[in-house]
Amino acid sequence: MTTRCLPALPDGGRKANVETRIRGVFVTQSEENSYRKEGHGSHTPAGTQTWSRFRGTGVHTLQKSLVLKKQAELDEVDKRLALRRQEFEENVEALAHRRSELEEKQQQTKEKVMKFEKFVAENEAKRRRMLKTCEATREQNALKRTEIEDLTKQLKQLRARKQVLKERMTKYKMYEDYLMKTLENFPGSYLDNGSESLVMPIIRRHEALSITYQELLQRLGRMEEQVEQGHRQLRSMKQEHSIRKLMASKEVSELQSELETLTEKNKQAEVNFLMEQSLSREKVKEDGRLLMAVNNLAEQCYLPAYGPLESMNVLTVMDMVKEFILDKADTERRVRRLMESGSATTSTTAATDKKGRGSLKSIGSKTQIKSSSKVSRKSETLS
């Protein structure tokens, strides 16, 4: 940190004298007021001018002393700041050194951790391998134990068979002794000539019997395998049969439900058919009644121009009835005109009209009676 140097004041001896003169002076005015008084000093006396000059020099010396004091304090602060800066730089260097050491330690710890993890992984792999080998050895030991147990059983069986064979040997020892004694009693020429002829057929017979025995054993083994295969096939067939039985029962239940639904539908269809049949019967009855009424009207309103009634159809019959009714209506209109034309003829025409109406009423009643009788007959025949 740089410090500004103030300019040196001239007249050093004079300054000392002024300091000794104004040592006991107490400054109560500012420098500005003193300068103002000096500016207006043309009309002031000489004593006041000297006093203002002394006071100005005292103020300057006081300011200089204060500046020097502040300069000394500033130098002290600069020294302290430099010391602090040096300490800070030393601390920064120490921190950097410690940081580098910590980074090195951290790197070392990372390497140690990696080595330790690698060591742990290797130990885990070794442990797994050892567990596998231990499990394999346990299995081998179990197999060997089972083999040892089987071998001990076989050894016991062989020892028992050996004991049985020993007992048989001791039992048949007397026969051997007897045969040896008999051989000793036979002459030497007999043994040389007939030994092979007597022993070889027995040996061949024994070989043939042993071969047949082996063949029978093999055949028995094959038959046992066939029987076992037949049992397996029987079990599989039983399973298939049970599965098919379940499927068949399921299908039967489904078909039974379908049959029930179909029977219900058939019953409903029968009911509908009976209702339709009853409606059709009523319709047939109505049609028969209408046909009978039409036939009765045709008989009453017959016109020879249309031909015989048997060859006519319903439409021609209705046309004939229509024409007959129109003719009747035309005749009635003519009769009414004649009645209006003369009063004398009214009585006679009225009588004739009454007779005609009575005849028409009698004809209508007769046709109704005939149609009702025919309808009743047809209904009886249909029922």
Task: Write down the pLDDT at residue 375.
Answer: 41
**The two three-digit tokens of residue 137, written as one number:** 């050895």
- pLDDT beyond 70 at 159: yes
* Cα 58 from Cα 17, distance rounded (Å): 11
Q: Cα 242 from chain centroid?
A: 34
- pLDDT beyond 60 at 193: no
In which residue are the tokens 């040997």 written? Answer: 169
Instruction: Please provide the average confidence, as pLDDT, over all residues in the chain.
Output: 76
Task: Write down the pLDDT at residue 158.
Answer: 92
What DSSP letter does each residue of 249-297 carry, written as one string? HHHHHHHHHHHHHHHHHHHHHHHHHHHHHHHHHHHHHHHHHHHHHHHHH
pTM of the shown model: 0.25
Out of 7-11, 266-270, 273-277, least confident range:
7-11
Out of 137-141, 197-201, 291-295, 303-307, least confident range:
197-201
Confidence of residue 84 (pLDDT cuts 50, 70, 90): very high
Closest by Cα among 364, 375, 199, 373 to 287:
375
* Cα 382 from Cα 375, distance rounded (Å): 10
Closest by Cα among 307, 311, 356 to 332:
356
Confidence of residue 382 (pLDDT cuts 50, 70, 90): very low
Residues 6+ apart with CB under 8 A from 289: 371, 375
Confidence of residue 33 (pLDDT cuts 50, 70, 90): very low
Mean predicted confidence (pLDDT) in 349-360: 56
Task: Write down the pLDDT at residue 212.
Answer: 92
- 381 versus 353: the higher-pLDDT residue is 353
Q: Could you read off the pLDDT of 275-334 as tens digits, one per residue?
A: 887 777 788 788 788 888 888 888 888 778 787 877 778 788 888 888 888 888 888 888
292 within 8 A of 375, measured Cβ to Cβ: yes
* Cα 367 from Cα 371, distance rounded (Å): 6
Residue 310, exposed/middle/buried by CB under 10 A (0-12, 13-18, 19+)? exposed
Mean predicted confidence (pLDDT) in 135-159: 91
Residue 305 gets which letter from DSSP? G
